[in-house]
């Protein structure tokens, strides 16, 4: 059967260059907006290899290696480590609804299989599984589990995780609509979707919050950014909006992989207006998209 999609490696490299030139501090291929669940295992491995090669040591590459299976997650994690990844982002096994003990053993097995740091990724909205602060406190006792990307939307968890892990677990906000709240509570990093097409404002917000602790200036920037963040987070079309945003700045992202569909012209116009209000680079009309499956978290 003829395949409808293929990974466009040239466009992927251009997106990575755009993000790094925009000042981002790291790249996460095959994360949620990388549509990892719709890529074959071979495609996932190739995206990782291309990303690490394209980054070329300029910023760390943290690879998403999640799957419903512990064995496959370990296979992908070992591949990422061998390819040169500096860390792994692992969302909870989805669909099977593992128990707390099963989750603990899952992450423990991954940690024992690799030497590089593991970023636990808690996204109950998409995985259907909530990795709670008490469970993270147990996981923090494992040497190479030191980070959590927290996407529950409950900013109270930032302080809870820091307190329950005695500061051993570094918290990263993983949403584009509550980043200032998380930074105020002690979050140290932000894994952003919108940074793929407005990297400079995202980096600026991080610098104001974490490096300068200038929350007055950060609040002013945050209120300019929040309409865009709320659009992509609250629409139920996160991947679709991120891909459209990438193309608004003249890059190729391709259509979402089915069953997801491209946003409407009306939705695109709203997105274009919000991006234009934040982006120093003028929006462009892209050429016909080449392929899908090249989005990343940055």
Structure tokens belonging to residue 260: 């997801």
Rg of the chain on CA atoms, in Å: 18
Return phi, psi of residue 181, to 5°.
Answer: -55, -45
Q: What's the rounded Cα separation, in Å, for the pair 283 and 276?
A: 7
> Nearest CA to 295 among 266, 268, 271, 260?
260
Classified as helix, coil or strand, 41 is helix
Q: Residue 106's CB: how many other CB atoms inside 10 A?
A: 18
Return phi, psi of residue 167, to 5°.
Answer: 80, 5
Positions marked active-site: 121, 149
> Nearest CA to 127 among 102, 95, 159?
95
Residues 6+ apart with CB under 8 A from 223: none
């Amino acid at each position: 059967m003829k395949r409808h999609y293929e990974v466009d490696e040239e466009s992927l490299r251009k997106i990575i260059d755009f993000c790094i030139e925009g000042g981002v501090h790291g790249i996460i291929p095959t994360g949620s907006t990388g549509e990892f669940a719709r890529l074959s295992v071979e495609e996932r491995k190739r995206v990782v290899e291309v990303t690490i090669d394209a980054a070329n040591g300029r910023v760390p590459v943290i690879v998403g290696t999640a799957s419903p299976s512990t064995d496959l997650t370990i296979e992908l994690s070992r591949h990422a480590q061998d390819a040169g990844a500096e860390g792994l982002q692992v969302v909870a096994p989805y669909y099977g609804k593992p128990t707390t003990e099963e989750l603990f053993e899952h992450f423990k097995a991954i940690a024992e299989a690799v030497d590089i740091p593991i970023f636990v990724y808690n996204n109950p909205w998409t995985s259907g599984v909530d990795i709670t602060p008490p469970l993270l406190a147990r996981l923090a006792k494992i040497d190479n589990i030191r980070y959590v990307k927290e996407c529950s939307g409950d900013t109270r968890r930032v302080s809870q995780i820091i307190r329950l892990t005695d500061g051993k677990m570094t918290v990263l906000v993983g949403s584009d609509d509550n980043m200032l709240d998380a930074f105020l509570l002690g979050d140290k990093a932000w894994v952003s979707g919108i940074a793929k097409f407005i990297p400079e404002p995202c980096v600026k917000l991080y610098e104001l919050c974490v490096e300068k602790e200038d929350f007055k200036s950060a609040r002013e920037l945050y209120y300019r950014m929040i309409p865009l963040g709320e659009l992509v987070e609250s629409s139920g079309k996160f991947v679709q909006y991120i891909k459209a945003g990438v193309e608004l700045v003249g890059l190729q992202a391709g259509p979402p992989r089915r069953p997801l569909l491209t946003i409407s012209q009306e939705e695109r116009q709203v997105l274009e207006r919000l991006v234009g209000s934040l982006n120093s680079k003028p929006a462009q009309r892209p050429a016909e998209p080449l392929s899908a499956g090249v989005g990343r978290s940055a």
